[in-house]
A and B are shown apart, each in its own frame.
Chain A
Amino acid sequence: MLIGIDLGTTNSAVAIWRDGEAVLVPNALDDPLTPSAVSIAKDGRAWIGRSALDRLAAHPQDSAASFKRLMGTAGKSRLGGREYGAEDLSALVLGALVADVEAFTGERPSEAVITVPAYFNDRQRKATRRAGELAGLTVRRLINEPTAAALAFGLRDKGDREPFLVFDLGGGTFDVSVVEMFDGVVEVRASAGDNRLGGDDFDQALAAMVRPRIDPANRLDALSAPHREALLKRAAEGCRRALSTASEAEFALVLGDEKLSLTVTEAEFESACEPLLRRLREPVVRALRDSAIDAAELSEIVLVGGATRMPVVRRAITRLFGRFPNASVHPDHAVALGAAMQAALVGRDAALDEIRITDVCPYTLGVEVAEQDDHGGLQRGLFSPVIERNTPVPVSRMNTYSTLGNNQKTLEFGIYQGEAREVRGNVKLGHIAIPVPPRPAGEVSAEVRFSYDSSGLLEIDVHIPANGTERNLVIVDEEDRPGRKELESRRAALARLKFHPREEAGNVALMTRAERCYEDHIGDVRQAIGHWITLFAGALDTQDPRHIADARAMLAARLDEVESISPL
């Protein structure tokens, strides 16, 4: 079975194609969204999703969220005393989604389409693909998130649509795509983005603004960094969400036995976000410029991604385009639904026989070159584009380069991705060296061909016409691809983690929630929650299903009551 997965910074979701439509698959808690959070205790017990997110407050040293931001980097998260890469943690989330599909359909899926931010670079894409492999999935295709959202938006009626703009501001990434639909063709005209801008940054901006006021004595400094960040992040997120519906909200956190709190107005929040809001403009301008479409020609501005719920963001968008955006698609569900549609397309489902989708390659790809300047000096490290950004894919392009030195023996090509004029500003993807016959400078030329397929796989061929030498480089993960063995051992390490049985998921989630509430409160309320936890633990020990169900309903009701009072 081929499934569609939205592997998000904040939440992940999975959808399947069934009876001619995309359907979201609920998790063990009957929620279509699974928070992208993992918590691992020292003894190897692991929590994924909601319960892991709740454990973040009480066990920050065991828990991680927003690890998608570390995708494709060497950054590691430390959980339960061990280090995990973003791929490993993502693989655990993917594994949970796979289990949800298995529980929902009775069949274990083996293949997936996974979405990535359009502006993810090649390294980030490969890391995502590896995460899928670690979770035991064959990743049939990576599809850009705004493209998936466009599918979900556009295929509702399959009618023609003049160019519209998908504005996708998620938890950690920002994408803009200009898309057009006609005669069953979904055509992405251009994509641009910022892979370091999302809801998390708004939380950080809010926390940074509030911190000196709420904690003038810098007492938070005494906490460990993960603990401090988890506290601030949670407080900021709660406050930011509250500000979506009210003109002021409480920013509150519990430090030891004391509650620190402060009221933040919408205007204060907006001014704290000002630099972030300004960063929304540039990708929009670039996508419009690259697609040669005037903002006035756009038929819709389609909002996707949880962060577009923020009124400050909506106001900025309205100001930017001079009209109200279209919020008709579910900002958290659209991407997963689109991924399932893409999965059906890949699987050539008959219901989508008349649909084709064409995407673009959002970055420029090229090689490093050196050139002679006016004064005879050599300028090194320049970037020579071969495939320009926003070229429709698949695409194959050739450029010719020649030697710079007399009797040069080899030609070396560094392969880069990015927009900077000098390669040091771009991402290096690989390297290819080819021997050339010794001749005077400039007399030996090399034909370099870049081929980029629909899944974003780049292949490079170098041909020396002078002597017929050929070299080929498939930029899979040449340098950073772990060997089969390493992949196996990592997979085995993840498999050793102890997961809670699916039927206990509800109890586990409720328990972690109660523990989080305990951390969030002080005084009598805290004591009361402690007491309830003991009661619930006792009920669990009886292993009597009816008794447990009663205790669970009771605890849930009490926690709801407590949380409805507190802004946290």
Chain B
Amino acid sequence: MNAPWSILGIGMTADVSAIRKAYAERLKAMDVDGDVEGFAQLRQARDHALRIARKMAAVPDAGNEGDVAEDGAEAEADGEDAAFGPAAEAPLRWTYAAPELRGEWSGGDLAARPGEPDQSAMLGRMAWAAAAAREGVSGAGIPLTTIDPFTAPFLPGNHAADEALGLRPGESPAERLSILLDPEGPSAGEPLTEAEVRQAMRALRKILDDAAQAQITRAQQIEDWLAEVLARGWPRSAPLLEDANTAFGWEREWAAHDARPGVAFLGARLRGYRFQQNVLQPGHRYHKAWNELIRPGKASLLRFLSGPSQGDVEALLRGVRKNFPELETHFAADRVASWERGSPVKVGLFILLGLVLAAVLMLAGNPSRDGASLERDTWSAMQTAVPEAFGEGHDSSWLWDKQPELAGLLNAQTRNLLENGAERPAVVAKVVEIVRGRSFLNGRELAGNDLDTAMRLRLAQLRAAQAQSDAACIRLRNTGVLGAAIAVPDAIRAEERRFAAHLADTGKLGKPQDHGERSAMVPGDLIDQVVGATRLSRDAVKEAMSGKGDAGTGCAVTIALLERTLAWDGENRREILMTL
């Protein structure tokens, strides 16, 4: 890569002061307000050159980009032999766009320099866009933190073993907390016992006191470490979140568009936890609805006599799905499904009411839709839509049987669209869209053939979108929405149907998990392949991977990366696919 050097007008060098000097000279020669683009380029070139210089200084032989990329990969590999083995292997419930936590108990160099952003961060950003779209967050240009908080492992002081903390000899409060939150063996996944909560709270307070007294760098390390441990220890860490939040003022950060991923994760969890604590109080508006939905089994037919109102249950479901998706796991799927189908007794009432209403409306000459005919139309639209989405031989009762939650969702969507005057084809298209989105999001979490199928289908969809326009392609990448106007080839449609039916049959078409931000290291040779396939400059490719650049480039790079990764058999293949 010559770009930064030619803009600076110097040859490649590891000499930081030469780079600064060249930058200063060029800056003084230009009118920054008159040449905004030129200034941006110069600044970028300078920053890029400084990064390369730093890498060269660190690794005397490394002088080119490929090596820089591989440095990143090595760093990741180093992370593998973390002292904290079991936790590192456990499936993470969220991922930080940085190498794994490494050796936090081994002490280590507290003064370690924060790392420079590398390909991993850039790809993480791209993946973020997709994840963000799922969460309904804007994905444009979110800066990732450029500091990797875990490269500077921290070991909280040399506390004398404090009996009150329940510490074992030589154990620090941080170790205690970590073990309590991420235990090995049978108690993993169980909530903390009351005694454990007390112990954990005491350890936490000690750590928070430490942070309050500490200097800024160390306090930051403690904060980042704690965010990681609490996020990793979720849901066991639930009772501790409130205190940590108060101490570090995380609440102010949650609402920020660039909240650190760990903090954002904890923020969302704590809000859900608070809601759950509140809804368990008998006076809460949705208390009855909550209790109804968490009971296993199907809902009683006579529930309208003593149960919560249909409106409250629906409002609770809607609210939970929108705001605290993880709380839905508390609900019994059968019960949710039967509520979502609507109350049979109420349908009867609807018909009665509907008749009266219809009569009135006929007098008024207004051909509005009444409740009963809406239910009928919904049912009939589903009879068309389900085979369209899953292939012939599948109907909505099959879907209710296999994936009640999805069936409920599709039913509600269909009813909603019809109520708003949508035509049958639009309803069918929406159902296909939802199933397509779920197949992809769930398939991506699987391994082997299923993962490959999901990604191959996504590749075909991206190409179909690209044929329409680059914007459509980027939209599909960022929001997962293909759009009804885009025609997918028949063979691909058939494959999509088979795959969706297969996932539903095996019960894998449930609500997609929120995986937050993801990242993977893209090895240099894979980037080379993308560069070759797209005939773009390496810079443009990397820019596109970091979510910048125009739609055409972004689309071409996404397609090429997906295609090449599918055909590739190297390290990180699955990780890379999972970020796409």
State yes or no: do A and B come from one complex: yes
**Contact at B256–A454, with CB atoms within 8 Å?**
no
Knowing A371-B133, A374-B321, A402-B475, say if A292 contacts B140 (CB, 8 Å): no
Q: Which residues, 410 to 444 on B, are CB-close (under 8 Å) to A?
A: 413, 416, 430, 434
Residues of A within 8 A of B40 (CB): 392, 395-396
* Chain B minimum-CB-distance residue to A382: B138
**Contact at B147–A443, with CB atoms within 8 Å?**
no
**Contact at A392–B21, with CB atoms within 8 Å?**
no
State whether the Cβ of A509 lies closer than 8 Å to any Cβ in chain B: no
Residues of A within 8 A of B219 (CB): 281
Nearest-CB distance from A352 to chain B (Å)? 11
**Contact at B27–A358, with CB atoms within 8 Å?**
yes
* Chain B minimum-CB-distance residue to A399: B140
A377 to B146, CA, bound (A): 34
Knowing A296-B217, A441-B483, say if A419 contacts B321 (CB, 8 Å): no
- Of the candidates B21, B145, B216, B483, the one having the most CB atoms from chain A within 10 angstroms of its own CB is B216
**Contact at A372–B27, with CB atoms within 8 Å?**
no
Interface of A is mostly: mixed
* Chain B minimum-CB-distance residue to A446: B471
State whether the Cβ of B143 lies closer than 8 Å to any Cβ in chain A: yes
A148 to B143, CA, bound (A): 27
- Please tell me the number of chain B residues within 8 Å of chain A, measured between CB atoms: 69
**Contact at B23–A419, with CB atoms within 8 Å?**
no
Nearest-CB distance from B556 to chain A (Å)? 15
State whether the Cβ of A477 lies closer than 8 Å to any Cβ in chain B: no
Residues of A within 8 A of B472 (CB): 442-443
**Contact at A375–B321, with CB atoms within 8 Å?**
yes
Residues of A within 8 A of B78 (CB): none
Find B21's partner among A183, A321, A422, A445 (CB 8 Å cutoff).
Answer: A183
Find A282's partner among B252, B468, B475 (CB 8 Å cutoff).
Answer: B252
**Contact at A425–B255, with CB atoms within 8 Å?**
yes
State whether the Cβ of A383 lies closer than 8 Å to any Cβ in chain B: yes
**Contact at B21–A384, with CB atoms within 8 Å?**
no
A422 to B256, CA, bound (A): 8
**Contact at B413–A376, with CB atoms within 8 Å?**
yes
State whether the Cβ of B331 lies closer than 8 Å to any Cβ in chain A: no
Q: Which residues, 242 to 298 on B, are CB-close (under 8 Å) to A?
A: 249, 252, 255-259
* Chain A minimum-CB-distance residue to B465: A442
State whether the Cβ of B159 lies closer than 8 Å to any Cβ in chain A: no
**Contact at B32–A394, with CB atoms within 8 Å?**
yes
Nearest-CB distance from B433 to chain A (Å)? 9
Residues of A within 8 A of B37 (CB): 396
Nearest-CB distance from A450 to chain B (Å)? 11
* Chain A minimum-CB-distance residue to B256: A419
Q: Which residues, 204 to 231 on B, are CB-close (under 8 Å) to A?
A: 213, 215-217, 219-220
**Contact at B479–A376, with CB atoms within 8 Å?**
no
Residues of A within 8 A of B518 (CB): none
**Contact at A420–B256, with CB atoms within 8 Å?**
yes
**Contact at B141–A386, with CB atoms within 8 Å?**
yes
State whether the Cβ of A388 lies closer than 8 Å to any Cβ in chain B: yes
State whether the Cβ of A320 lies closer than 8 Å to any Cβ in chain B: yes
State whether the Cβ of A440 lies closer than 8 Å to any Cβ in chain B: yes
A285 to B223, CA, bound (A): 11
Residues of A within 8 A of B43 (CB): 358, 392
Residues of B within 8 A of A373 (CB): 135-136, 322
Knowing A185-B27, A400-B551, say if A453 contacts B33 (CB, 8 Å): yes
A253 to B142, CA, bound (A): 52
Chain A window 171-198, contacts with chain B (Cβ cutoff 8 Å), 1 for yes, 0 for no: 0000000000011110000000000000
Knowing A386-B140, A443-B472, A453-B33, say if A372 contacts B215 (CB, 8 Å): no
State whether the Cβ of A294 lies closer than 8 Å to any Cβ in chain B: yes
A183 to B28, CA, bound (A): 10
**Contact at A400–B258, with CB atoms within 8 Å?**
no
**Contact at B134–A442, with CB atoms within 8 Å?**
no
Nearest-CB distance from B343 to chain A (Å)? 21
Find A377's partner among B215, B258, B322, B484 (CB 8 Å cutoff).
Answer: B322
Q: Which residues, 1 to 53 on B, are CB-close (under 8 Å) to A?
A: 17, 20-21, 23-25, 27-28, 32-33, 36-37, 39-40, 43
Nearest-CB distance from B475 to chain A (Å)? 5
State whether the Cβ of A385 lies closer than 8 Å to any Cβ in chain B: yes
- Of the candidates B25, B143, B145, the one having the most CB atoms from chain A within 10 angstroms of its own CB is B143
**Contact at B114–A294, with CB atoms within 8 Å?**
yes
A419 to B146, CA, bound (A): 17
Residues of B within 8 A of A296 (CB): 111, 217
State whether the Cβ of A498 lies closer than 8 Å to any Cβ in chain B: no
**Contact at B216–A399, with CB atoms within 8 Å?**
no
State whether the Cβ of A369 lies closer than 8 Å to any Cβ in chain B: yes
Nearest-CB distance from A372 to chain B (Å)? 6
**Contact at B20–A183, with CB atoms within 8 Å?**
yes
State whether the Cβ of A288 lies closer than 8 Å to any Cβ in chain B: yes
Residues of A within 8 A of B479 (CB): 371-372
Q: Which residues, 278 to 330 on A, are CB-close (under 8 Å) to B?
A: 281-282, 284-285, 288-289, 292, 294-296, 319-322
Find A285's partner among B17, B20, B134, B220 (CB 8 Å cutoff).
Answer: B220
**Contact at B28–A356, with CB atoms within 8 Å?**
yes
A358 to B27, CA, bound (A): 10
Knowing A294-B113, A443-B483, say if A382 contacts B27 (CB, 8 Å): no
State whether the Cβ of B123 lies closer than 8 Å to any Cβ in chain A: no
State whether the Cβ of A349 lies closer than 8 Å to any Cβ in chain B: no
State whether the Cβ of A110 lies closer than 8 Å to any Cβ in chain B: no
Nearest-CB distance from B408 to chain A (Å)? 11
**Contact at A451–B36, with CB atoms within 8 Å?**
yes
**Contact at B481–A294, with CB atoms within 8 Å?**
no
State whether the Cβ of B485 lies closer than 8 Å to any Cβ in chain A: yes
A400 to B141, CA, bound (A): 11
**Contact at B140–A421, with CB atoms within 8 Å?**
no
**Contact at B257–A292, with CB atoms within 8 Å?**
no
Chain A window 411-450, contacts with chain B (Cβ cutoff 8 Å), 1 for yes, 0 for no: 0000000011110010000000000000011110100000
State whether the Cβ of B62 lies closer than 8 Å to any Cβ in chain A: no
A375 to B137, CA, bound (A): 14
State whether the Cβ of A354 lies closer than 8 Å to any Cβ in chain B: yes
Residues of A within 8 A of B17 (CB): 182
Knowing A183-B21, A371-B133, say if A443 contacts B140 (CB, 8 Å): no
**Contact at B145–A184, with CB atoms within 8 Å?**
no
A296 to B152, CA, bound (A): 13
State whether the Cβ of B409 lies closer than 8 Å to any Cβ in chain A: yes
**Contact at A371–B216, with CB atoms within 8 Å?**
no
A388 to B20, CA, bound (A): 24
**Contact at A295–B21, with CB atoms within 8 Å?**
no
**Contact at B146–A182, with CB atoms within 8 Å?**
no
**Contact at B249–A421, with CB atoms within 8 Å?**
no
Nearest-CB distance from A224 to chain B (Å)? 35
- Of the candidates A372, A374, A376, A383, the one having the most CB atoms from chain B within 10 angstroms of its own CB is A374
State whether the Cβ of A11 lies closer than 8 Å to any Cβ in chain B: no
Residues of B within 8 A of A451 (CB): 36
- Of the candidates B28, B140, B219, the one having the most CB atoms from chain A within 10 angstroms of its own CB is B140
Chain B window 475-504, contacts with chain A (Cβ cutoff 8 Å), 1 for yes, 0 for no: 100010101110000000000000000000
Find A295's partner among B36, B213, B215, B481 (CB 8 Å cutoff).
Answer: B215
Knowing A372-B479, A442-B472, say if A289 contacts B113 (CB, 8 Å): no
A296 to B468, CA, bound (A): 53
Nearest-CB distance from B54 to chain A (Å)? 11
11 intermolecular pairs with C-beta atoms under 8 Å apart: A182-B20, A285-B216, A321-B215, A376-B413, A382-B137, A384-B140, A388-B143, A392-B39, A420-B256, A425-B255, A443-B472
- In the A-B complex, list the 4 residue pairs whose CB atoms are closest, starting with the nearest: A183-B24, A384-B138, A322-B215, A379-B136
Q: Given known contacts A322-B215, A366-B138, A376-B434, what 20 new A-B pairs fall within 8 Å (CB)?
A: A182-B20, A183-B20, A185-B20, A185-B28, A284-B216, A288-B216, A292-B147, A295-B215, A319-B213, A356-B24, A371-B479, A375-B409, A376-B416, A395-B40, A419-B256, A420-B256, A421-B138, A442-B471, A442-B483, A453-B36
**Could you tell me which A residues sit within 8 Å of B by CB distance?**
182-185, 281-282, 284-285, 288-289, 292, 294-296, 319-322, 354, 356, 358, 364, 366, 369, 371-377, 379, 382-386, 388, 392, 394-397, 399-400, 402, 419-422, 425, 440-443, 445, 451, 453-454
